[in-house]
């Protein structure tokens, strides 16, 4: 990530929106920042609103190494300043809820695998207890037993990966 931060400035209205650093991998700006949450919006919400509020106004993108950067940040109005903490709060909550939902889905998936494992073990037990009347039947039963055991090991690997 670059160390340069950016602000987009409307000189006519003496206002700016902070884009902060540009993430070249994802091609997005960090977006507005809430000191209260120590977090960025990580979307273009305020940038888009700023552009729409200043249609046909001359805008300038200032990097933090520009001599006017500090002056703008300290003397111009920060666009929708009062809305920033509430918006970022909402984004963080959405993110936490999404992560929680993924966790729940993951543990449900694990549970289904464990149930499948028990069913396979039960079938394997039946195969092991089935009497064989010929050498050929014995070979078939050994083959089935091996296949069941192999399935159980695969499930164990997947469950272990899910936990790791
Ligand atoms: Zn403007």
Q: Tell me how far the alpha carbon of residue 82 lies from the centroid of ligand 1, in angstroms.
A: 18
Confidence of residue 163 (pLDDT cuts 50, 70, 90): confident
Q: Tell me how far the alpha carbon of residue 52 lies from the centroid of ligand 1, in angstroms.
A: 9
Q: Tell me how far the alpha carbon of residue 9 lies from the centroid of ligand 1, in angstroms.
A: 8
Place of tokens 């499948």: 116
Confidence of residue 29 (pLDDT cuts 50, 70, 90): very high
62 phi-psi bin (left φ>0, alpha ψ -120 to 50, beta other):
beta
Give residues whose Cβ lies within 5 Å of ion ligand 1: 10, 12-13, 54, 57
Find the farthest-apart pair of alpha carbons in the chain and give their distance in angstroms, rounded. 95
Q: Tell me how far the alpha carbon of residue 80 lies from the centroid of ligand 1, in angstroms.
A: 13
Rounded CA separation 164/161 (Å) = 5
| pLDDT given for residue 162 in this prediction | 77
Residue 1 has pLDDT above 80, yes or no: no
| pLDDT given for residue 44 in this prediction | 93
Q: Tell me how far the alpha carbon of residue 90 lies from the centroid of ligand 1, in angstroms.
A: 27
Q: Tell me how far the alpha carbon of residue 101 lies from the centroid of ligand 1, in angstroms.
A: 41
Q: Tell me how far the alpha carbon of residue 85 lies from the centroid of ligand 1, in angstroms.
A: 23
Rounded CA separation 42/84 (Å) = 12
Q: What is the mean pLDDT of the chain?
A: 94
* 76-104 pLDDT per residue, tens: 999 999 999 999 999 999 999 999 999 99
Q: Tell me how far the alpha carbon of residue 16 lies from the centroid of ligand 1, in angstroms.
A: 9
Q: Tell me how far the alpha carbon of residue 17 lies from the centroid of ligand 1, in angstroms.
A: 11
Residue 144 has pLDDT above 90, yes or no: yes
Q: By the 8 A CB rule, do 4 and 65 touch?
A: yes
């Amino acid at each position: 990530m670059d160390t340069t931060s950016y602000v987009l400035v409307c000189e006519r209205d003496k206002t700016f929106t902070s884009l902060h650093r540009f993430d070249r991998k994802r091609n997005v700006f960090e977006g507005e920042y809430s000191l209260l949450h120590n977090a960025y919006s990580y979307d273009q919400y305020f940038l888009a609103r700023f552009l729409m509020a200043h249609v046909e106004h001359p805008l300038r993108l200032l990097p933090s190494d520009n001599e006017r950067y500090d002056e703008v940040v300290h003397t111009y109005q920060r666009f929708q300043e009062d809305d920033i903490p509430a918006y970022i709060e909402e984004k963080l909550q959405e993110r936490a809820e999404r992560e929680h939902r993924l966790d729940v889905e993951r543990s449900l998936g694990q549970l289904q695998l464990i149930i499948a494992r028990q069913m396979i073990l039960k079938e394997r037990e039946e195969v092991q207890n089935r009497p064989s009347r010929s050498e050929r039947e014995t070979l078939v039963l050994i083959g089935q037993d091996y296949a069941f055991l192999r399935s159980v090991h695969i499930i164990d690997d997947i469950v272990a990966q899910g936990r790791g």
